[in-house]
Amino acid sequence: MKGIVLAGGKATRLYPATKAVCKQLLPVYDKPMIYYPLSVLMLAGIKEILIISTPAALPHFKDLLGDGALLGLDISYAEQAEPRGIAESLLIAEKFIGKADVCLILGDNIFYGDGLSGLLKEAARQKEGATIFGYNVKDPGRYGVIEFDKKKKILSIHEKPREPKSNYVVTGIYFYDNSVVKIAKALKPSGRGELEITSVNNEYLKKGKLKIKLLGRGYAWLDMGTCDSLVEASIFIKTMQERQGLMIGCIEEVAYRMGYIDKERLKELSKSIDTGYGEYLKNI
């Protein structure tokens, strides 16, 4: 399975902070935002990753991550000149995806919880269909809302409805089989002029090939689309790291734990970071 991080958009809700800097390069406590979704793909066992962003931001991502070789990854890059919907990333990535299955994650999402890697790996092993993750929120109208029957079987998904059918929403990570490219090609722009990822998910639902995993109380899902949510995410990361002494979204540690790099490479990486982050890597 291959992975895509969608790190485009204009992030106007974060202006003026994002007027000259891509949102996914902003710091979330002690790391660039993109470290968090990138680490999630790595925890799923994915090593071939495409980062999609704006023409102006791509050189900065390349400076930050390079080709991924130092982390045992294979990272490539593609442009999304204008934000035309999440599903457009699947069209941009068509050649990258090739004949593989794919996991798409939004570049402003944080996932955290014990056993998360196991859930991700299970979804990555799917042979057919799609897997999405649901999460209970107090303001579902901002997201793609899931309607269930009494047995928690999905009946429908509605994008930003005025009257939500439940408090469960679709999070920003999606696992698809290879037929997703064909599905994305058949989409028509919504009333917002975008290719909606909800339309992709509903197509799998119509075919009876959409699975959902609900993230319960033991998990945290954060998206950082506003100034308040960005601050809240930083406070969450700081609090958890100080309490547990374990880092969240540390891509060097994940690469080591997953066996992508060895001890010597981890030592080498730690030497170039003269901060508490570098000391953490040395102590591993």
Give CA–CA dist 171/49, Å, rounded.
Answer: 19
Beta pairing partners, 214:
134
User: Is the pLDDT reported for residue 264 higher than 90?
Assistant: yes
Sorted by where each begins, the domain ranges of the chain are 2-127+173-199+221-249
pTM for the predicted model, two decimal places: 0.95
pLDDT of residue 15: 86
| Average pLDDT over every residue of 59-80 | 97
Give the tens place of pLDDT for each residue, 149-191: 888 889 999 999 999 999 999 999 999 999 999 999 999 988 8
pLDDT of residue 70: 96
Give the tens place of pLDDT for each residue, 122-131: 999 998 999 9
User: Is the pLDDT reported for residue 111 higher than 90?
Assistant: yes
Residue 226 or residue 35, greater confidence: 35
Tell me the pLDDT of the chain averaged across its residues: 94
CATH architecture of 2-127+173-199+221-249: Alpha-Beta Complex (3.90)
pLDDT band at 9 (very low <50, low <70, confident <90, very high): confident
Q: Which residue type occupies 90?
A: L
Q: Which residue type occupies 26?
A: L
Q: Which residue type occupies 273?
A: I
pLDDT of residue 56: 93
pLDDT band at 18 (very low <50, low <70, confident <90, very high): confident
Give CA–CA dist 49/105, Å, rounded.
Answer: 11
Contacts of 13 (CB under 8 A, 6+ apart): 225, 226, 227
Give CA–CA dist 207/177, Å, rounded.
Answer: 13
User: Is the pLDDT reported for residue 88 higher than 90?
Assistant: yes
pLDDT of residue 225: 85
pLDDT of residue 227: 92
Give CA–CA dist 142/226, Å, rounded.
Answer: 12
pLDDT of residue 272: 87
pLDDT of residue 191: 82
Q: Which two tokens stand for residue 94?
A: 């068509």
pLDDT of residue 168: 96
User: Is the pLDDT reported for residue 8 higher than 90?
Assistant: no
Give the tens place of pLDDT for each residue, 206-241: 999 999 999 999 999 999 988 999 999 999 999 999
| Average pLDDT over every residue of 130-154 | 93
pLDDT band at 283 (very low <50, low <70, confident <90, very high): very high
